[in-house]
Structure 1
Amino acid sequence: MKKISNIKFILIVAILAALILSACQYDLEDAINDNLEQKGDLIVHFIDVGQGDSIFIQLPNGETSLIDGGTRASGENIVKYLKEQNVEKIDYLIATHPHEDHIGGLPKVVKNFEIGKIYMPDATANTNIFQELLKEIKNKDKKVSIAKGGDIILNDSGVKYEILAPNGEKYGETNDYSVVTKLTYKGNSFLFTGDAEKTSENEMMDKGYNLKSDVLKIGHHGGSTSTSNEFLLKVSPKYGVISLGKDNTYGHPHKETIARLNEQNVTVLRTDELGTIVMNSDGKNINVNKEIKGENTESETQNIKKYYIGNINTKVYHSPDCNYLPKEENQIILKSKKEAEDKGFRPHDKCIK
């Protein structure tokens, strides 16, 4: 009987050892796969183009995307900015809709860079700039993919880049043809809405898309006909980025939109106040202006210093490039040293001189 018990004991120990070893091997394989997936960070540049939109995206796999190109006058500046980031190819070019403040700079971009896939809505405009864009696309012997809600641009290595709108065929407002995209990198997500207004927002909600995102590019430069309460509740962003020009003639951002954002405790970042805004995600945390590749121009350096990041727990404020930034959930954006100190924050002794 003792021999049988000993044999049983040895078998149990052997089985447990095998299970432990297989679990360790599984964890090791998972860790290796995670490292293989994460080749780099996701970096999103909300380029300051004045009263317009242009968003440059550096994907973790080394590919790039450009959403819109600002006004015609922005073209050369965007080309310069992209070259400073050592860009040679735009893998995914998206023209959200055919308004000049979104496609104006794209002919120069198409002319100056290698272009991969091009996405546009099924909408046209009887304007010179729209015709110029089509001409440059033709000169590159490229074809346009008509963007529709539900299409997938990329789904690989922890990155999902999907199209959520347009979902209809005919709209009364050109803005509602806007190509809306969502970019998810592991635990972080960004929603880029072009100039989509309430009609398109309602369609996205009706479709049951997962709109939840950490960062929302506020629709139509903060206009009151976009970013409805219902849509904002679905997205539930931490950051709302508004791309617009100083003292613009449209009165953007409208006070109603700002009130809705404030009511839901969204941290508002505006290009008319901060200049170009750069967000860096490692798939878990998002840092604002953590890294700008290439050579910083004088204006970019000034833009980084125009705001500060406070720690709501310690009441200490930091420069955006400080190595001691608080965790994302403890951060608050402060527009100036005066605002920081008026709110009871004291400067961090390592990064604020």
Structure 2
Amino acid sequence: MKFIKNLLIITVFLLLISGCSFPTATTSGSTATKMQQKPIVESNLKIENGKLNIIFLDVSQGASQLLVGPTGKTMLIDGGDNDKEELMLEYLRSYGVEKIDILIATHPDADHIGGLDAVVSNVDVGKIYMPKVTKNTKTFESLLTAIKEKGLKITTAKAGVKLDWEPGIEIDMLAPVKDKYEDTNNYSVVLKLKYKDRSALLTGDAEFISENDMMDSGKDLSADLLMVSHHGSAGSTSSKFLKAVQPEFAVIQVGENNYGHPTSKTLQRLKDQDVHIYRNDLNGTVFASTDGQKWSVSVEK
């Protein structure tokens, strides 16, 4: 039975990622009203019109970034864990987001995609990018089901892809570089965004192997803003990688956990290169915006 289930998940994923579409399902009344309920998120951090806004949402031990561009285009990267479905919908409501133009699931780990099925089911979604890797979990299956029921398709996320999102903003996928990795973390989608003179690198859970592949690719990894990979684990954000990126400040998406994230080794590597650190567990949601000339960073606490 387990083999059959695995085969079904892989089959559905391959159908979706190859561009096959399915009939669109109607949204039930109970889920449609979720966005209209009394908010559980009240933030004093506001979208700045005419700027690139990157919001590192506080989803506890998980990751999610909401991007809003100068003309109002939106992008959502990951969506926290399974228990963050309602929170994700409330975050979108609180920032006035009614459509996700681009949705990216960096890799199939639950703490990154757990809340995305609710987003897909309840919000208008444009293009979806996911790396070509599957995982035999209910979480991954639920996301595929939500995509299928909305009649959407998946575009393969891999190094070399350029995203058409906002005029004047260059977005390059730098990873995954290779087609095969042993650890799903190294399939993580890594994005570099460049707006005029400012740039950001968003890394998912990429670890040393993926970092080395990116450096070996010869791509320009330099960025002012770095999202620290894998919640600050010891197996990511090497000193060599930091020297290639040369960030001025970094954001660690982390909450209470039993893994020791962020580790003292990673924090020390950041401090050794004079990187200013923001953390969701200490600062709540972290809001970075730029006009292309300078960054402005605000925090909830």
TM-score w.r.t. the length of structure 1 is 0.70
Q: Distance in 1 between matches of 2:144 and 2:155?
A: 13
Cα-to-partner distance string for 1:245-269 (whole Å, 9 max, x where unaligned)? 13x1000001100010000000010
Correspondent of 2:186 among 167, 176, 183: 176
Q: Is the 8 A contact 1:154 1:162 kept in 2?
A: no
The structure-2 alpha-carbon separation of the partners of 1:107 and 1:156, relative to structure 1 and needing over 3 Å to count, comes to closer
Task: State how far apart, in whole Å, the 1-side matches of 2:166 and 2:190 are.
Answer: 20
Q: 1:284 is matched with which residue?
A: 293
1:226 aligns with 2:256: no
Per the alignment, residue 271 of structure 1 pairs with 280
- 1:96 and 2:106 are equivalent in the alignment: yes
1:57 maps to a residue whose letter is L
Determine which of 168, 174, 194 is the counterpart of 1:164: 174
Q: Which letter does structure 1 place at the counterpart of 2:82?
A: R
SS in 1 for 2:163: strand
Shift of 1:156: 5.4
User: The residue matched to 1:131 in structure 2 has which SS?
Assistant: helix
| 1:81-120 map, 5 Å | 81-120=91-130
Give distance in 2, aligned partners of 1:196 and 1:127: 20
Kept in 2: contact 1:42–1:280 (CA 8 A): yes
Higher helix share: 1
Q: Does 1:130 align with 2:152?
A: no
Tell me the distance in 1 between the aligned counterparts of 2:61 and 2:279. Answer: 11
Q: Tell me the amino acid that sits aligned with residue 227 of structure 1.
A: T
Separation (CA, whole Å) in 1 of partners of 2:276 and 2:148: 41
SS in 1 for 2:204: coil
Q: Give the deviation of 1:61 after TM superposition.
A: 2.5
TM-aligned CA deviation for residue 162 of structure 1: 1.4
* Distance in 2 between residues matched to 1:86 and 1:222, nearest whole Å: 30
Residues 73, 166 of structure 2: 8 Å contact kept: no
2:102 counterpart of 1:79: no
> Structure 2 vs 1, CA of residues 210 and 266 (structure 1 numbering), >3 Å: closer, same or farther?
same
**Which residue number corresponds to residue 29 of structure 2?**
none
Instruction: Please report how far the alpha carbon of residue 158 of structure 1 lies from its aligned counterpart in structure 2 after TM superposition.
Output: 1.6
Find the aligned partners of 2:213 and 2:226 in 1 and give their Cα distance: 17
Match of 1:56 in 2: 66
Q: 2:216, 2:122 → 1: CA distance? A: 40
- 1: distance between equivalents of 2:245 and 2:210? 14
Q: What residue number does 2:36 align with?
A: none
Equivalent residue letter for 1:264? Q
Alpha-carbon distance between aligned partners in 1 of 2:218 and 2:288, rounded to the nearest angstrom? 27
Amino acid at match of 2:107: H
Question: Shift of the alpha carbon at 1:155?
Answer: 6.5
Q: Which has the higher contact order (CA 8 A, sep 6+)?
A: 2
Gap regions ≥5 residues in structure 1: 1-38, 290-302, 307-353
- Structure 2 CA distance for partners of 1:45 and 1:155, relative to 1, 3 Å: closer
Could you tell me which residue of structure 1 aligns to residue 262 of structure 2?
A: 253
Q: Is the 8 A contact 1:238 1:267 kept in 2?
A: yes
Q: CA deviation at 1:157?
A: 2.6
Other structure's SS at 2:164 match: strand
- Write the deviation string for residues 110-161 of structure 1: whole angstroms up to 9, x where unpaired: 0111001100001100000100000000111111001110100127532111
Structure 1 counterpart of 2:154: 144
AA matched with 1:285: K
